[in-house]
Amino acid sequence: MARTPHLTFDRGTLILHPPPKGKAWIDFATWDDRIEKFRIPAHQYRALVETLRREQVAFVDQVAQFESLTLTLQTSWQPYPHQQAALQAWIASAWRGVVVLPTAAGKTYLAYLAMQATPRSTLITVPTLDLMHQWYDQLLQVFPDVEVGLLGGGSRDRTPILVATYDSAAIHAESLGNQYGLLICDECHHLPSDFNRVIAEYAIAPYRLGLTATPDRADGRHEDLLHLLGPIVYEKQPQDLAGETLAPYEIVQIKVSLSQTEQARYATLIQQRNDFLQGANIWLGSLEGWQRFVQASAKSSAGRRAMLAHRESRAIALGTAGKLRILADLLERHHPERCLIFTADNATVYRISEDFWIPAITHQTAVKERQAILEKFRSGEYPILVVSQVLNEGVDVPDARVAILLSGTGSTREYIQRLGRILRKGSKGQKRAILYEVIAEETTEEGISRRRRAERSPRPTGQLELLPQKQSYPAPQQPLPHAAEPEADWPEA
């Protein structure tokens, strides 16, 4: 009498033994000579089980260790129409897929709705410790009857709802893989990296939700989200929600001319760099071109001089004295409103902090100091804050209305995230946000700005369209009792 096949979980893979009858299952399997059994990638668990059941193959499933939960959302807030539409689109896609919403549009609340709709043991992955603790604090309030834990920053919990950093989840992926039925990846554009992707590949989770404001990656790996989490099932851009979920906003571009001395030096440096690039047949218009330039700069003294010229020319464009004069004018114009200043480098941050007596945050700022500065900014004790690359994701500053972008990369993601820092409606729900983009005229910054504001092309290589056409969006007559991103703690029902 033939033995009944058993399906088991083994360190991020599935083992099906003895081999069942039929042929459909073999498409999932690879023979492992070491153990003389068939292995199947863990992320194909759901498809394999559905295939075996469809073929009426009898088997014993010993894989899934997740449990059903009773999840009652403890909040009086109601979802916005776009959150309801996103949830229905995700459910219609068999509980798999990516939702693209701008910062402050309520991706976290959408995740709560997805958890309630499933409901199963849930693993939530986030890119930073700050976000991990933010999720944890809010989950304790919205689902008070279920144990919530942390994985990362010294915590190693194993709870029905677990919030983990990408780094920690990837390290423990082999043991986490069969413990959770729902996988939620916040800022899911981080997932397709070589290190992080095992979180999804080693997981059996039948239900998967990715959340991001901008899924596109410069290396093209955003395409991998299709098999890691599912297709993009719903998408909105900032201008789609302005005046409703988000504060109405406008973007003002200000061009600054270099001084004669700066312009002469800049032209000399750019020519030196370009002469080398032309001789080496390198074009900087792509990620591959930049990588080739970095490699070439390490192989010869000429390459090294070209790289130094590139960096000095960039420093001139980013830190021209004309930008600081514009900054002074803008700060005076908007005093005493709360304002965020963004730059691309630490040197400019420290220069502005020293010249204007403004608190600064960079990656070098100690954790406790950073938290203290942010708290004073939120309370209004510090009305202005200057930062480099550290506040792009997961920082809640609901009442900030003005952002000044003195410099940045050509990344659409960075641009949308910085815009999102000022799009929360705030306590009064009547603010109108404004983003100033200050760029150095006749420098490479103009090209960088064009890439940031590039019109959207067909996926998967497209960019989001960012600039509204100077359109006025009507503000609501009364604050809407809906849930986007929280300003502070969620109210209890």
Q: What is the pLDDT of residue 248?
A: 82
- For CATH 3.40.50.300, the residue range(s) in the chain are 78-236, 249-257+320-483
Q: Give the pLDDT confidence score for residue 51 in this predicted structure.
A: 94
| Distance between CA atoms of residues 408 and 410, nearest Å | 7
Alpha-carbon gap, residue 247 to 400, rounded angstroms: 11
Element housing 482 (H / E): strand 482-483
**Which stretches does DSSP call E strand in 127-274?**
148-152, 155-156, 161-165, 182-186, 207-212, 232-235, 249-256
pTM above 0.95, yes or no: no
- For the chain, residues classed under CATH 3.40.1170.30 are 6-61
Average pLDDT, 10 consecutive residues per value, the chain (493 residues): 86 94 89 94 96 92 94 87 96 97 89 96 94 93 95 94 98 97 97 97 98 88 95 92 79 90 93 93 82 91 94 86 91 90 88 93 85 86 86 61 78 71 65 86 80 48 30 33 43 30
| Distances, alpha carbon 255 to alpha carbons 277, 334, 393, in Å | 27, 19, 27
Confidence (pLDDT) at 477: 37
Confidence at residue 470, expressed as pLDDT on a 0 to 100 scale: 31
Q: Which CATH number fits domain 78-236: 1.10.260.40, 3.30.9.10, 3.40.50.300, 3.40.50.970?
A: 3.40.50.300
The pLDDT score that the predictor gives to residue 355 is 92
Q: Which fold has domain 249-257+320-483?
A: Rossmann fold (3.40.50)
Is residue 189 a contact partner of residue 152, using CB atoms and an 8 Å limit? no
The b-or-e profile of 264-302 (16+ CB within 10 A means b, else e) is eebeebbebbeebbeebebebeeeeeeebbeebbeeeee
Class of domain 6-61: alpha beta
For residue 326, give every residue at least 6 positions away whose Cβ sits within 8 Å of its Cβ, in sequence order, or none.
254, 256, 438
